[in-house]
Amino acid sequence: MKKFIINCLCAGVLSGSALAAAAQAPLSVSLHNPAGVAGGLVEVDYAMVAAQWAPLGKGSFKVLNTATGKEVPYQVLTEGTGQPVKILLDVPLKAGASTTIRFVAGKPAPVAAKTYGRYVPERKDDFAWENNRVAFRMYGKALEATPKEMAYGVDFWNKRTENLVINKWYKRTNYHKDDGDGLDYYHVGLTLGAGGIAPYLQDSIWFSRNYTGHRTLDSGPLRTSFELSYDAWQVSGKPVTVTKTVSLDAHAQLSKMQVRYSQSLPVAIGIIKRKDPGTILLQEANGVMGYWEPQHGADGTTGIGCIVLAPVKEMKVEKGHVLAVAATDGNGAITYYTGGAWDKAGLIKNADQWFRYLQEQAERLRQPVTAKIIQKK
């Protein structure tokens, strides 16, 4: 009888050990890119992985590409909640391609920072953000005290380096001069600039003032995101407020703009149009709006473009802008993408290349990479 009890206890220990080992086993996830163009960074739901793989919330982990055996750079996103929400993976997938990644316990290799953003109080409340390709800024309340410099919209910085330049450029005596890594020559003024947004009623653009509140949500290395809030202003006789959540991924030319107004509204997303002739692309059906500016002397040429995921009512050239007119949803929200390219950066050199990039990104955004847990090993 004693021998039987001992054997049962040993079997229980072995069974418990086997279960513990199984819980620690690597978790495999299949990724598939359904689009006819190459994919960007890949989002995987943190809770989905945590439900199947206990080590995720207990310590450090690595992500391996099973085809190459190499580590996949990643970033855990909280989206300002203080808790993990998503895992952002830098795993390129060609058109229609699939691959498998594996989550394993262990200390990951450091990931070089490819995105960055911050509030810039030393330059009249700017908020600037960038990645390894492009840089932008939006304007804060302090700028309103200098009417000659006042600007509303999104500013685009012409950089031609993969290095992060925001802190370096703000220390320059003149970042409107190219010292080898680019310059800021893009003019915004009292316009929507490089893809700003505003209510559009009675055939008028109802500009807000500049942002008054800011909050960083995630800070690199693969994605920087932040939130800007605005004081109420009058729109056709009614007070309106807005909050803008902006994010930029590594390797992208476009920032994601998630905008929420205090009420449902028709809106215009706009690109300032220059006086000299440029090249314009208006594709209402797939929400793509592009502008290849006239050359800016020795500085080169800038392209600006927007992708609107919501239905677009119309696109037109009016009021000094290239405009896409749409509407928020029932909650006052709309999501779109805006960004730019500079021919001197060497990646996108002409209007055809820029418009093709925008069209491909529209397809990718509407058919994102999917993730599915397939097995443990």
At 163, which CATH number? 2.70.98
Which one is predicted more confidently, 58 or 63? 63
- Same domain for 105 and 212? no
The one-letter amino acid code at 313 reads: K
**pLDDT surpasses 60 at 17:** no
What does the angle CA 186 – CA 192 – CA 195 come to, to the nearest 5 degrees? Answer: 80
User: Considering the domain boundaries, does residue 355 fall inside one?
Assistant: no
DSSP letter assigned to residue 187? -
Same domain, 263 and 159: yes
Q: How far is CA 117 from CA 127, 165, 250, 350, in A?
A: 7, 10, 12, 28
Positive or negative, the Cα torsion across 170, 175, 179, 184? positive
Based on the domain organization, do 141 and 29 belong to the same domain? no
Position 70 pLDDT exceeds 70:
yes
The neighbour count for residue 240, using CB atoms within 10 Å, is 19
Domain-located, residue 354: no
181 and 97, same structural domain? no
Asked whether residue 361 is assigned to any structural domain, the reply reads: no
- CA-wise closest residue to 329 among 238, 255, 266, 257: 266
**E strand or H helix that includes residue 89:** strand 86-89
For the chain, the domain total comes to 2
162 and 129 in one domain? Answer: yes
Q: Based on the fold, state whether residues 119 and 222 are members of the same structural domain.
A: yes
Token output for 140: 């804060």
The end-to-end CA distance of the chain, in Å, is 38
What size, in residues, is the chain? Answer: 377
Phi, psi of 356 (to 5 degrees): -65, -40
Neighbours of 363 (CB within 10 A): 16
d(CA 241, CA 288): 27
Parallel, antiparallel, or unpaired for β 98-105 and 333-342? unpaired
Is pLDDT above 50 for 315? yes
Instruction: Using pLDDT thresholds of 50, 70 and 90, give the confidence band for residue 14.
Output: very low
Q: Phi, psi at residue 288, to the nearest 5°? A: -105, 125
Of the pLDDT bands very low, low, confident and very high (cuts 50, 70, 90), residue 176 is confident
198-224 tens-digit pLDDT: 999 999 999 999 999 999 999 999 999
Instruction: Assess whether 145 and 292 both reside in one domain.
Output: yes
Average pLDDT value for residue range 284-303: 97
CATH number, domain with residue 84: 2.60.40.1180
**What pLDDT, on a 0 to 100 scale, did the predictor assign at position 375?**
62
Query: Is residue 149, in this structure, part of any structural domain at all?
Result: yes
Question: 101: domain range?
Answer: 2-111+368-376
**Stretch 100-114: mean pLDDT, rounded?**
97
The C-alpha R_g of the chain, in whole angstroms, comes to: 24
Answer yes or no: is pLDDT of 167 > 70: yes
Residue 351 belongs to some domain of the structure? no
Quick check: 146 pLDDT over 50? yes
**pLDDT at res. 23:** 55
Same domain, 169 and 305: yes
- Statement: residue 22 has pLDDT above 90: no
Question: Does 359 fall in a domain?
Answer: no
The reply to whether omega before 34 is within 30° of 0 (cis) is no
What is the spatial distance between Cα 234 and Cα 228, in angstroms, rounded to a whole number?
19
Query: Which ranges in the chain belong to alpha helices (H)?
Result: 2-24, 46-52, 166-170, 351-366
62-78: average pLDDT: 96
Q: What is the mean pLDDT of residues 61-84?
A: 96
Residues 182 and 300 both lie in one domain: yes
Residue among 153, 119, 162, 158 nearest 135 (CA): 158
Mean pLDDT across 113-131 = 97
Mean pLDDT for the stretch of residues 334-339: 98
Confidence band of 9 (pLDDT split at 50, 70, 90): very low
- Return the percentage of the chain with pLDDT > 90, whole number: 89
SS3 (DSSP) at 61:
strand
Q: Kindly state whether residues 34 and 140 are assigned to the same domain.
A: no
d(CA 162, CA 181): 9
Is 30 contained in some domain? yes
pLDDT of residue 3: 46
Q: What is the mean pLDDT of the chain?
A: 93
User: Domain check: are 246 and 129 in the same one?
Assistant: yes
Rounded CA separation 377/101 (Å): 12
Residue 173 DSSP SS3? coil
Which single residue is written with the structure tokens 């999104």? 154
DSSP readout, 14-35? HHHHHHHHHHHS-EEEEEE--S
**SS3 state at 3:** helix
Per-residue pLDDT, 58: 87
Show the tokens assigned to 369.
Answer: 């990479």
Domain contains 98 = yes
Distance CA(27)–CA(106), nearest Å, equals 13
CA distances (Å), 294 to each of 207, 278, 315, 336, in order? 26, 5, 20, 25
Q: Which is more confidently placed, 16 or 46?
A: 46
Q: Is the pLDDT of residue 5 over 80?
A: no
Q: Is the peptide bond before 221 cis (omega within 30 degrees of 0)?
A: yes
pLDDT tens by residue, 246-263: 999 999 999 999 999 999
CB count in 10 Å sphere of residue 277: 8
pLDDT of res. 376 = 55
Q: Are 232 and 302 in contact (CB under 8 A)?
A: no
Dist CA 375 CA 290 (whole Å) = 43
240 and 215 belong to one structural domain: yes
Side chain identity at residue 121, one-letter code: P
